[in-house]
Amino acid sequence: MLRVDTVETPIGPIHLALRGDALHALRFDEPFEGTRAPTPISDQVRAYFAGNVRALDGVAVDPDGTPFQRRVWAALRAIPPGETRTYGELARQLGTHPRAVGSANGSNPVCLAIPCHRVIASDGKLCGYAWGEERKRWLLAHERR
């Protein structure tokens, strides 16, 4: 059974699902089914939005994904707050194609803790964020403050 919580943020409510003590999924659209219970990760999400942009760096994550997706997600977690990488840069780093990186990035079930918002197009455009370009813009600006 998942433990679930909702955290109010400046960009809308964020719904968390934990499997054990690890973040299993995070989304904006609708709450998860499970046992409702505040968690330390809820406090870390609040700290992130209060200005501690490194608050989620050490959060344990346990998303479902293929070995390749997990490789991409590990590379995303290595991008520091306030910085971005292009799909091409990540693809070169991982020895794969930018579209494969984009596909894995778009399949990320734990946005923020696996910071897929830090990946941009080669021309600097903010494309490909499942939760909307405005949220991506807000998150990147927040991390650069």
- Give the distance from CA 27 to its chain's centroid: 9
User: Is 116 part of the annotated catalytic residue set?
Assistant: yes
Structure tokens at 43: 């406090």
Dihedral of alpha carbons 48, 1, 70, 103, sign: negative
Q: Which of the residues 116, 119, 120, 139 is marked catalytic?
A: 116
Report the distance separating Cα 80 and Cα 35, nearest Å.
33
| Vertex 115: Cα angle to 73 and 26 (nearest 5) | 90
Could you give the residue ranges of the DSSP H alpha helices within the chain? 40-49, 67-77, 87-94, 98-106, 133-144
The catalytic residues are 116
